[in-house]
Amino acid sequence: MADACPHFDYLLVIPHLQVQNANALSSPLTHGFPSITAFLGVMWALERKVRDAGLALQFNATAVIAHRHEEQITSGGFVHTLRLTRNPVNRDGSTAAIVEEGRIHLQISLVFGVQSAALGDASQDESEKIAHQVRDILSQMRIAGGSVIPSPAPPRKQRPYIVSMVDEDQREGLFNQIKLRLLPGFALVDRTDLLEKRYQEQQALDPQSSKLEAWLSLSRINWTCTPGESQDKAQWANDRKSLGWIVPIPVGYGALGEEQAPGSVTHARDGQTPFRFVESLYSVGEWVSPHRLHSAEQLLWYADSAADEGRYRCRNDYRATPIEDFS
């Protein structure tokens, strides 16, 4: 179980990846961008492939910065409809059932917190070669179910690179250079603190309210009306003014039962790994511009698993900075 971002000595940046038809349905209750669990899954799959290629790299954390997004939906007023594909017919010629599959086109940058003894002895040219090799491997993989295709970004902006963060005194300055290179774009960070705050506010008004109600409250724009100076003029205000670009997000999985022995569950994907039924865990995230972050730890997501408690969660160490601190 991790209570802080795992240590890393290097940041590996893969900028401006173009992903086509990624999964836009991040959970049974949310849509609009792939789940952060998908990007942690990409990180672990990439680590296995990189090691198979002979590169001794350990991936400890990851981050995603969105530059462009285009969810494949048809908008009609307040109603959005997914653009679905037609499934092939069954063997008997009857029409197959349609399973809704939300799709989204993305242009993203991925940042990985990496440990590697080999990188300490590598020259600048060797580091660049390793970064390009990792990108080539990633380009052959699926990212959140989507295919990596050639990016329209200028070639100079697509060059992957590795930055050494070994010197503690230079980490902040080096991260400042990295985050500016990630602009324009928005990074997804964890705002569980907003959920806890809203829950406490609702508890003060109604002790019977739940965290689900607090989560739903933060997932929408809530308008309130207060009387104006005269009876015919009312003042309307919403609760989003100081909250930023917040969104409801899934952050992992919670167990629904005990862990089952490998191979004991029929039709399980992997018969060599213990099996467990789970459901999604939900929280609140915020899209922030990378230039507002003060350290790489605020940007990166990492796994926080506690199997004994039935929790498999993704965490991020972002802490909001008061506006006056930017002056």
- Token match 């191979």: residue? 263
Instruction: Assess whether 197 and 282 both reside in one domain.
Output: yes
Please tell me the predicted confidence (pLDDT) of residue 98: 66
Q: Which domain holds residue 293?
A: 192-225+237-326
Instruction: Assess whether 165 and 200 both reside in one domain.
Output: no
Residue 53 lies in a domain: yes
Instruction: Assess whether 55 and 127 both reside in one domain.
Output: yes
Residue 23 lies in a domain: yes
Closest to 148 (Cα-Cα) out of 161, 130, 135 = 135
Instruction: Assess whether 114 and 152 both reside in one domain.
Output: yes
- Token match 């050639």: residue? 150
Instruction: Assess whether 159 and 212 both reside in one domain.
Output: no
Instruction: Assess whether 246 and 294 both reside in one domain.
Output: yes
Q: Is the pLDDT of residue 82 over 90?
A: no
What's the structural domain count of the chain?
2
Q: What is the pLDDT of residues 200-220, one digit of tens each?
A: 999 998 899 899 999 999 888
Euclidean distance between CA atoms 207 and 8, whole angstroms: 43
Euclidean distance between CA atoms 314 and 307, whole angstroms: 13
Q: What is the pLDDT of residues 132-191, one digit of tens each?
A: 999 999 999 999 999 999 888 888 888 999 999 988 888 999 999 999 999 999 999 999
Strand partners, 115: 58
pLDDT, mean of residues 253-280 = 89
Residue 222's contacts (CB-CB under 8 Å, 6 or more residues apart) are: 238, 239
Q: Is the pLDDT of residue 318 over 60?
A: yes
Instruction: Assess whether 21 and 160 both reside in one domain.
Output: yes
Q: Is 119 helix (H, G, I), strand (E, B) or coil?
A: helix
Instruction: Assess whether 161 and 27 both reside in one domain.
Output: yes
Instruction: Assess whether 202 and 171 both reside in one domain.
Output: no
How much is the pTM? 0.88
Euclidean distance between CA atoms 258 and 278, whole angstroms: 10
Instruction: Assess whether 173 and 255 both reside in one domain.
Output: no
Instruction: Assess whether 249 and 121 both reside in one domain.
Output: no
Residue 69 lies in a domain: yes
Residue 327's pLDDT band, with cuts at 50, 70 and 90, is: very low
Closest to 127 (Cα-Cα) out of 301, 284, 290, 10 = 10
